[in-house]
Structure 1
Amino acid sequence: MINQVYRLVSARQFEITYKDSSIHSDYIVVRPTHLSICAADQRYYTGTRGEEAMATKLPMALIHEGIGDIVYDPAGEYKPGTRVVMIPNTPVEQDEIIAENYLRSSKFRSSGFDGFMQDYIFLERDRLIALPEHINVHVAAFTELITIAMHSLARFEAKAHSRRQTFGVWGDGNLGYITALLLKKKYKESKVVVAGKTPFKLNNFSFADEVYNINQLPADLKFDHAFECVGSIGSQYAINQIIDHIIPEGTISILGVSEYPVEINTRMILEKGITLIGSSRSGYHDFKNTVDFLACNQEVVDYLETLIGSVHEVKSIQDIIDAFEKDLTTSWGKTVMEWNI
């Protein structure tokens, strides 16, 4: 069958390419229905990813957050129309120590490997998870972002000490919101403190125990562990603030992505015996755990609906451009494309 792929060829310019794909294979064929725009997609779209990356990775179909309906399953395990979340990480090997999302050989959609902006996606059987029928599809569209927070919590569980009375979360954006929400739900008896810089965004963290502006932190603010969800150059200031306030021997989980090296106070990391935990992307088990968690916690899904910033029906390339441009001006939440092209 001929599959249409909508690739970014240069900043703000998409083109349709055609790819001959066979359904006579072991791949499950999925028709994307709802796609969510990520900040990483925007860096490619606007051309701010860097000249070298743009030159080596384009042309490329964007988007690594999305859901779709199964069109064809050669094994007959899934019925046509079954709604699934698609897993963008694509490992080509296994390692008994290194997780699939940290293997340097793994491919990741919309990062040098075509993403979900296609008519049909051909997936290995372990690259999708069936979704519960009742879940909000616009929330489900950014399941991948939720799995990143879920993955960081799994790494925290494996590496941090057992005292978990208070958590600090730095960042008032989408990832900070999700991480703080999951912490509050999973550690019900613990206090969750959120620090950010934008008042109207912080107002959305109604579930948190305490919310502070980063310029007005109490001198006596303390917590056992922290999660940095700021990214970019701001992560430098966030990590150093966390180091100042964290109780000795706590862990700092770093989730924010920065294009450039940042300076952090290593002297106090040593003096306090702080453990830094890096977390990036996610794998099959993170998706499975996230879907199971959301299926059993409708109130979490209700809170996540707050992150639906805008929804755009896409029927043409111009609609794709309009959605990306609108996303650039959206100050809160995720932009979701209803993929009807």
Structure 2
Amino acid sequence: MLNTVYRLVAPRRIEIAFTDIDLFGEDVIVRPTHLSVCNADQRYFQGTRDPEVLAKKLPMALIHEGIGEVICDPTNTFKPGDSVVMIPNTPVESDEFIAENYLRSSKFRASGYDGFLQEFVAIKPDRLVSLPDDINKYVASFTEIVSVSVHAISRFERFSHARRDKIGVWGDGNLGFITSLFLKTMFPDSEVYVFGIDEEKLNYFSFADKCYVTTKIPKDLELDHAFECVGGNGSQIAINQIIDYIKPEGTISILGVSEYPVPINTRMVLEKGLRIFGSSRSGREDFVKTVELYKSHPEIVEYLESLVGFKKEVRNVADISIAFEEDIKKAFGKTIMKWVK
């Protein structure tokens, strides 16, 4: 079957390519329906990645956050019409100690490997997770970034000590919103404090116990553990603030992506005996757990609806480009493309 792939060939230039899909192989054929634009997609689209990286990875179809409808499944794992979330991480081996999303051999869609910006996606059945029929599909479209937070929180549960009275989250963007929401859901007895730079954005965090602008944090505030969800140029300030306010032997989870090395106050890390760990991407078990949380805590989906920002129906390259350009202007939330066929 002939498939249309929308590949970024140069910054802000998307072109159509055609590939052939085997209908009788071992892959499930999924038609993407709702695709969410990530900051990583934008860095490729705008060409802000290192020129050597762009030269190595382009041309490439963008988007690693998305859901779709099953068209056919030779393995009979899914039925035609099933709504599924697609997992971008694609392992080619397994390891007893290293999770699939940390194996250097794993492929990741929209990072040197065609993403979901295609008419149809051929994908292994274990890279799909069924969605509830009644779920808000715009929210479900960014399940991938939600699963990243769930993954980090699951690791935090393993690494941190059991005193979790007060947990801080630095970051008033999408990742900070999702992480603090799921912390409050998964640790209902803990107080979750959110720290950001934009009071207007912090107003969205109605589920948090307290919100602080980072220039107005009480000097006597202490936290048991903390999550850094800032990234970029703000990573240094955020991590060092966390080191200042966290109690001895606390755990710091780093999720924010920075293109450059970040200097931190290692003297206080040593003096306080802090544990710092990083988390990146997610695997199948994180997607399964995320969907289970959607089902068991429907209020999560209602809160996540606050992140649905610009919605764009797309039919062609011009529509896709408009969605990316509009996404650049957003201050908060996610841009969602809905395929219209």
Q: TM-score, normalised by structure 1?
A: 0.99
Residue in 2 aligned with 1:21?
21
Q: Are positions 1:289 and 2:293 aligned together?
A: no
Corresponding residue SS for 1:250: strand
Residue in 1 aligned with 2:185?
185
Q: Measure the CA separation in 1 of the matches of 2:269 and 2:205.
A: 29
Residue in 2 aligned with 1:204?
204
Q: Measure the CA separation in 2 of the matches of 1:305 and 1:197.
A: 22
Residue in 2 aligned with 1:99?
99
CA contact (8 A) 2:109 2:116 kept: yes
Corresponding residue SS for 1:18: strand
Residue in 2 aligned with 1:269?
269
**Identity score, percent:** 58
With 72-81 and 173-182 compared, the bigger mean Cα shift is at 72-81
Query: Superposed, which structure 2 residues align to 1:173-252 within 5 Å?
Result: 173-252=173-252
- Residue 310 of structure 1: how far off its partner (Å): 1.2
Q: Measure the CA separation in 2 of the matches of 1:78 and 1:179.
A: 31
Q: Measure the CA separation in 1 of the matches of 2:147 and 2:277.
A: 16
Q: Measure the CA separation in 1 of the matches of 2:44 and 2:75.
A: 37
- Residue 12 of structure 1: how far off its partner (Å): 0.3
- Residue 340 of structure 1: how far off its partner (Å): 2.3
Corresponding residue SS for 2:299: helix
Letter in 2 for 1:203: N
Q: TM-score, normalised by structure 2?
A: 0.99
Corresponding residue SS for 1:276: strand
Q: Measure the CA separation in 2 of the matches of 1:51 and 1:78.
A: 41
Q: Are positions 1:70 and 2:73 aligned together?
A: no
How many positions carry a matched residue from both structures?
341
Letter in 2 for 1:122: A
CA contact (8 A) 2:34 2:339 kept: yes
Residue in 2 aligned with 1:260?
260
- Residue 241 of structure 1: how far off its partner (Å): 0.1
Residue in 1 aligned with 2:112?
112
Letter in 1 for 2:303: Y
- Residue 87 of structure 1: how far off its partner (Å): 0.1
Q: Measure the CA separation in 1 of the matches of 2:25 and 2:269.
A: 52
Residue in 1 aligned with 2:135?
135
CA contact (8 A) 2:172 2:201 kept: yes
Q: Measure the CA separation in 2 of the matches of 1:131 and 1:169.
A: 28
- Residue 75 of structure 1: how far off its partner (Å): 2.2
Query: 1:230-270 CA deviation, whole Å, 9 max, x = no partner?
Result: 00120111000000000000000000000010100000000
Q: Measure the CA separation in 1 of the matches of 2:128 and 2:273.
A: 40
Q: Measure the CA separation in 2 of the matches of 1:330 and 1:123.
A: 31
Q: Measure the CA separation in 1 of the matches of 2:66 and 2:140.
A: 8
Residue in 2 aligned with 1:300?
300
Letter in 2 for 1:100: E
State the superposition RMSD in angstroms.
0.7
CA contact (8 A) 2:77 2:125 kept: no
- Residue 314 of structure 1: how far off its partner (Å): 0.3
Residue in 1 aligned with 2:11?
11
Corresponding residue SS for 1:215: coil
Residue in 1 aligned with 2:172?
172
Runs (4+) off by over 4 Å: none
Residue in 2 aligned with 1:52?
52
- Mark the runs of 5 or more structure 2 residues left unpaired by the alignment: none
Q: Measure the CA separation in 1 of the matches of 2:191 and 2:20.
A: 54
- Mark the runs of 5 or more structure 1 residues left unpaired by the alignment: none
Letter in 1 for 2:108: F
